[in-house]
Amino acid sequence: MSVMIREIQDRDFEAVGALHLASRVTAYAHILSADALAGTTPGAMAEWWRERYRWEHDTHRFMVADVDGTIAGFTYAGPDETPDAAMLNAIHVAPGRIGSGLGRLLLADVQAWFATHPEWTRARLWVLEENARARGFYEHHGWRFDGTTRVDAIGTAMVPMVRYARELAGA
């Protein structure tokens, strides 16, 4: 297995859209209704990511995990609302690759990128409150719930989210 973490290219957005939707369905099936999860398509997700990155390209980083020519995961990150913090906006791994170490590689890559920004002393991310697998993954890698919560829309559902944070090296 050959893994390359690289910057997204235009040809990757369709694969990212399909992967993101498959990841959501797998991760959220026990949390959200089928109706809430059925509210989008891989093509719509691809277009959403393409448009978002077009607007945020100068401040954000969009990396994909290319495994033997197939997109198997991705991260999207950039500055947080406060100037001293970074935000991990998204990290997704193809359902068939969960537990393979790919998530760890993607997280290590984005955390190394965070460290290249001396103005960032901490990083944050949002995760569904009920997503125990993801929360365990983040906690295993040094992230901690910081006490901040909010409610976000995913499809047609409003879901409780919790914010995780970690100090960055050199902070």
Q: How far apart (Å, rounded) are the C-alpha atoms in residues 127 and 134?
A: 7
| pTM: predicted TM-score of the whole model, two decimal places | 0.95
- Tell me, what's the pLDDT at 37? 84
The CATH number for 66's domain is: 3.40.630.30
CA angle 13, 74, 14 (to 5 degrees): 15
pLDDT tier, 171 (very low <50, low <70, confident <90, very high otherwise): low
pLDDT tier, 1 (very low <50, low <70, confident <90, very high otherwise): confident
What integer is the mean pLDDT of 94-120? 96
Residue owning tokens 């100090």: 167
What integer is the mean pLDDT of 145-166? 95
**Contacts made by residues 19-24, CB under 8 angstroms, sequence distance 24+:** 19/71, 19/72, 19/73, 19/74, 19/92, 19/94, 20/45, 20/49, 20/74, 20/90, 20/92, 21/45, 22/94, 22/95, 23/92, 23/93, 23/94, 23/95, 24/92, 24/154
Per residue in 18-63, pLDDT (tens digit) is 999 999 999 999 999 888 888 889 999 999 999 999 999 999 999 9
Instruction: Count how many domains the chain has.
Output: 1
Q: How far apart (Å, rounded) are the C-alpha atoms in residues 155 and 32?
A: 9
- Tell me, what's the pLDDT at 170? 62
Other beta carbons within 10 Å of 25: 14
Residue owning tokens 């198997």: 72
Enclosing domain of residue 122? 3-167
Q: Which two tokens stand for residue 82?
A: 């406060």
- Tell me, what's the pLDDT at 82? 95
Q: How far apart (Å, rounded) are the C-alpha atoms in residues 87 and 79?
A: 5
